[in-house]
Amino acid sequence: MAEQRRIKVKVNGLEYERAVEPRRHLADFLREDLELLGTHIGCEHGICGSCTVLLNGEPIRSCLVFAIQAHGAEIMTVEGLSKDGKLNPIQEAFQEHHGLQCGFCTPGMLMVAYYFLNENPNPTVEEVRQVMSGVLCRCTGYKQVIDSVMAAAAKLKKSREEGAGT
Amino acid sequence: MKPGTFEYFDPRTVQEAIELLERYGDEAKILAGGQSLIPMMNFRVARPKVLIDINQIKELVYIREEEGELAIGSLTRQRTVEVSPLVQERCPVLAEAISYIGHLPIRFRGTIGGSLVHADPSAEIPITICGLDGKMKVTGPSGERVLRADEFFLTYLTSSLELSEVLVELRVPTLPSNTGWSFVEFSRRYGDFGIVAVACLLFMGDKGRCRKASIALGGVAPTPIRAAEAEKLFAGQVITESLIDEAGIKAAQAADPESDYHASAEYRKDMAKVFTRRGLREAWNKVKEGK
């Protein structure tokens, strides 16, 4: 076995310290070393997007980053979306609009949507279609995914307005 | 599919990286964005014994305007260049080309330098740099040298970097404000690798005439190519539809593609004509709109 390196990462707000082989990619590290199984591995070569997580706030394919490269970084996985068992509005929207069937791509979809809606709170359908196409889905045909993201945008907008009003 | 084992180094300076390359020679690979290398390592198509992770070399991350050129550090992320106001204003064709690279998460990790050294003739950045007559600054044990696009790209996936050299900077010209420009790409789905892509520049002169044109094509040869005969049609000319049509035909004649899984050689040649025309029309529209 190759020499291991100690790394420190913050995942969903919690600090972790582990020793890993350099060849361990981030997706495997999250799943196997930290037992956060929400991040899925569909292709392991950067095509499917189901392994998408946020690294220092930016969406990346965790199968294309070695865990040791994430030393010192802040990571958000799908487990970080809900708070105290309450679904994030994006997750609610996916539930209400059938944005998932088998659920395999869903963590990737949610993380991309989370980043995207934060950057672009008033997207057009075309913009949603373009960004969500980076995650491969074999079940939904994408229509429900697009509907879910548009609905999530509306939900987030409403809660921002309600928040501002109080 | 998991990568094989490797020895890992993360140097902090270019000099350290060069020393490591000298020490390990062809057993070592540089890791920048990893968006091309890591898939190959996950498949074990690439099995470097030594990985030199250069992501800590912060001195290679910058975008600066210097004497009519943009100097871009090789480690600058593609997304950073794509959204840079300086690039969008001074060399918009580069920002546009980058927006065609895969999907957003790829561009957040992928680097300008990595794409250049990977030297895929279908890749957006090499094609655009070919069209811009960009220059690559390279550093190695014997010092620094500057390479033009035609010197830098040798053949499929092969740049002219020596074994111990590191690409440190890309330089591209800033475009005069009345320049027509476009980047068009043909792929089956949004985000797919391009089958054919074209970068067009129309440098305008006096009295509404085109001074010179640049037409760079990808996906039609072992490196990005310039359609020189097509470009010559524009020198000193008023731009017309028929000139653009003729340029498309000449660009297709310059193309020398291979057939592969994605498209036959004949189809690529035909698409070279079609997309050259589309690109030139789009560039011309920008001239007319005064953009």
In terms of Cα–Cα distance, which of B82, B56, B86, B83 is closest to B71?
Answer: B86
Task: Name every chain B residue with its beta carbon within 8 A of the beta carbon of A52.
Answer: 105
Task: Name every chain B residue with its beta carbon within 8 A of the beta carbon of A2.
Answer: 5-8
Cross-chain CB nearest to B108 (options A46, A59, A68) = A59
Distance CA A165, CA A26 (A): 41
Q: Note whether A8 and A16 are within 8 A (CB).
A: yes
Task: Name every chain B residue with its beta carbon within 8 A of the beta carbon of A131.
Answer: 103-104
Q: What number is the average pLDDT over the span A47-68?
A: 98
Q: Name the minimum distance, in Å, from the CA of B53 to any CA of chain A.
A: 8
Distance linking the first and last C-alpha atoms of chain B: 48
Distance linking the first and last C-alpha atoms of chain A: 58
Which pLDDT tens digits describe chain B residue by residue (291 residues)?
Answer: 799 999 999 999 999 999 999 999 999 999 999 999 999 999 999 999 999 999 999 999 999 999 999 999 999 999 999 999 999 999 999 999 999 999 999 999 999 999 999 999 999 999 999 999 999 999 999 999 999 999 999 999 999 999 999 999 999 999 999 999 999 999 999 899 899 999 999 999 988 999 999 999 999 999 999 999 999 999 999 999 999 999 999 999 999 999 998 899 999 999 999 999 999 999 999 999 985
Query: What residue in B sits closest to A27 (Cα-Cα)?
Result: B2
Task: Name every chain A residue with its beta carbon within 8 A of the beta carbon of B51.
Answer: 22
Could B8 and A69 be called an inter-chain contact, meaning their C-beta atoms sit closer than 8 Å? no
Residue A160: Cβ within 10 Å count: 11
Query: What residue in B sits closest to A57 (Cα-Cα)?
Result: B108
- Chain A residues with CB under 8 Å of a chain B CB are 1-3, 5, 21-23, 25, 28, 44-46, 49, 52, 55, 58-61, 63-66, 68-69, 112, 130-131, 133-134
Q: What is the dihedral of CA B53, A115, B112, B88, to 10 degrees?
A: -150
Could A60 and B108 be called an inter-chain contact, meaning their C-beta atoms sit closer than 8 Å? yes
- Chain B residues with CB under 8 Å of a chain A CB are 1-8, 34-35, 38-39, 41-43, 51, 53, 55, 79, 102-106, 108-109, 189-191
Task: Name every chain B residue with its beta carbon within 8 A of the beta carbon of A48.
Answer: none
What is the percent of chain A with per-residue pLDDT over 70, rounded to a whole number? 98
Distance CA A37, CA A88 (A): 18
Reading the block at residue B29, the tokens are 């690979």
Distance CA B205, CA B236 (A): 8
Distance CA A139, CA B230 (A): 46
Query: What residue in B sits closest to A111 (Cα-Cα)?
Result: B105
Distance CA A38, CA B83 (A): 31
Mean pLDDT score of chain A: 96
Cross-chain CB nearest to B35 (options A64, A66, A134) = A64
Cα angle: B59, vertex B63, B67; to 5 degrees: 110
Phi-psi region of B272 (alpha: psi -120 to 50; beta: other; left: phi over 0): alpha
Task: Name every chain B residue with its beta carbon within 8 A of the beta carbon of A61.
Answer: 35, 105-106, 109
pTM for this model (two decimals):
0.96
Could B103 and A5 be called an inter-chain contact, meaning their C-beta atoms sit closer than 8 Å? no
Q: Which of B7, B80, B104 to mutate to test the interface with A (most CBs of A within 10 A)?
A: B104
Q: Which of A66, A76, A135, A146 to mutate to test the interface with B (most CBs of B within 10 A)?
A: A66
Q: Name the minimum distance, in Å, from the CA of B38 to any CA of chain A.
A: 6
Question: Any bridge partners for residue B118, and if so which?
Answer: none
Reading the block at residue B165, the tokens are 């050299």
Tens-digit pLDDT profile for residues A10-30: 999 999 999 999 999 999 999
ipTM of predicted assembly, 2 dp: 0.96
The pLDDT of residue A165 is 57
Contacts of B81 (CB under 8 A, 6+ apart): B63, B72, B87, B94, B95, B98, B112
What DSSP letter does each residue of chain B carry, written as one string?
--PPP-EEE--SSHHHHHHHHHHHGGGEEEESS-TTHHHHHHTTS---SEEEE-TT-GGG--EEEETTEEEEETT-BHHHHHH-HHHHHH-HHHHHHHTTSS-HHHHHH-BHHHHHHHT-TT-HHHHHHHHHT-EEEEEETTEEEEEEHHHHEEETTEE---TT-EEEEEEEEPPPTT-EEEEEEE-SSTTSPPSEEEEEEEEE-GGGEEEEEEEEEESSSSS-EE-HHHHHTTTTEEP-HHHHHHHHHHHHHH--PPP-SS--HHHHHHHHHHHHHHHHHHHHHHHHTT-
Cross-chain CB nearest to A60 (options B3, B43, B105) = B105
Residue A166 confidence (pLDDT) above 90: no
The pLDDT of residue A163 is 82
Contacts of A83 (CB under 8 A, 6+ apart): none
Could A61 and B105 be called an inter-chain contact, meaning their C-beta atoms sit closer than 8 Å? yes
Could A64 and B104 be called an inter-chain contact, meaning their C-beta atoms sit closer than 8 Å? no
Distance CA B219, CA B127 (A): 9
What is the band of A2 on the pLDDT scale with cuts at 50, 70, 90? low
Cross-chain CB nearest to B34 (options A64, A131, A133) = A64
Q: Name the minimum distance, in Å, from the CA of B256 to any CA of chain A.
A: 29
In terms of Cα–Cα distance, which of A117, A133, A32 is closest to B2?
Answer: A32
Could A133 and B35 be called an inter-chain contact, meaning their C-beta atoms sit closer than 8 Å? no
